[in-house]
């Protein structure tokens, strides 16, 4: 009647993955790496210069495409939570980048002048003057 208890530290072991499952997991991880690189690439290219706005838009579109594919793949194949959470977070960053790209494209000339002014500014006072100049060139109220 009394059975020997199992040690408390013993855990169930997972079944070894088949070759197809290993290949699928490898493909998902590769897609996730590409997705992360495109999201970070879009963010850092946006920081460089407004002249590279087209490259930021291309990288953002690619990151959204990879993110959607990865999200579908992660939910359908029950991949790890880390991949799922990372994909959702990256898609949120990509959505914010889309908004930044649209606003920057709308006020392209003003942003370009501001970046040139800040590039020439050597002091904090000169940078403040650039900021005031940008605020003056933008519309004061949007309807």
- Give backbone dihedrals phi and psi of 41, rounded to 5 degrees, phi first: -60, -45
**Residue range(s) defining the domain that contains residue 131:** 107-143
Tens-digit pLDDT profile for residues 47-88: 888 888 899 999 999 999 999 999 888 888 777 788 888 889
**46 and 90: one domain?**
yes
**Structure confidence at residue 8 (pLDDT):** 56
Residue 78 lies in a domain: yes
Number of domains in the chain: 2
Q: Which residues of the chain have pLDDT under 50?
A: 143
Name the one residue in this structure whose structure tokens are 């994909």: 87
Residue 94, C-beta contacts closer than 8 angstroms, at least 6 positions apart: 39, 42, 60, 63, 64, 67
**Structure confidence at residue 138 (pLDDT):** 78
**34 and 61: one domain?**
yes
Residue 36 lies in a domain: yes
**84 and 122: one domain?**
no
Model pTM score = 0.72
**91 and 126: one domain?**
no
**117 and 85: one domain?**
no
Q: DSSP code of 8? A: T
């Amino acid at each position: 009647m009394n059975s020997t208890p199992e040690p408390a530290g013993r855990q169930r072991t997972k079944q070894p993955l088949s070759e197809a499952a290993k290949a699928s997991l490898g493909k998902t991880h590769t897609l996730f790496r590409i997705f992360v690189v495109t999201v970070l690439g879009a963010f850092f290219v946006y920081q460089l210069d407004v002249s590279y706005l087209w490259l930021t838009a291309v990288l953002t579109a690619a990151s959204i495409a990879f993110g959607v594919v990865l999200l579908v793949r992660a939910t359908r194949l029950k991949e790890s939570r880390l991949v799922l959470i990372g994909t959702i977070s990256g898609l949120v960053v990509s959505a914010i980048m889309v908004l930044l790209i649209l606003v920057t494209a709308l006020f392209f000339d003003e942003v370009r002048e501001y970046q040139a002014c800040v590039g020439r500014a050597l002091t904090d006072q000169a940078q403040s003057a650039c900021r005031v100049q940008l605020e003056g060139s933008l519309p004061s109220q949007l309807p």
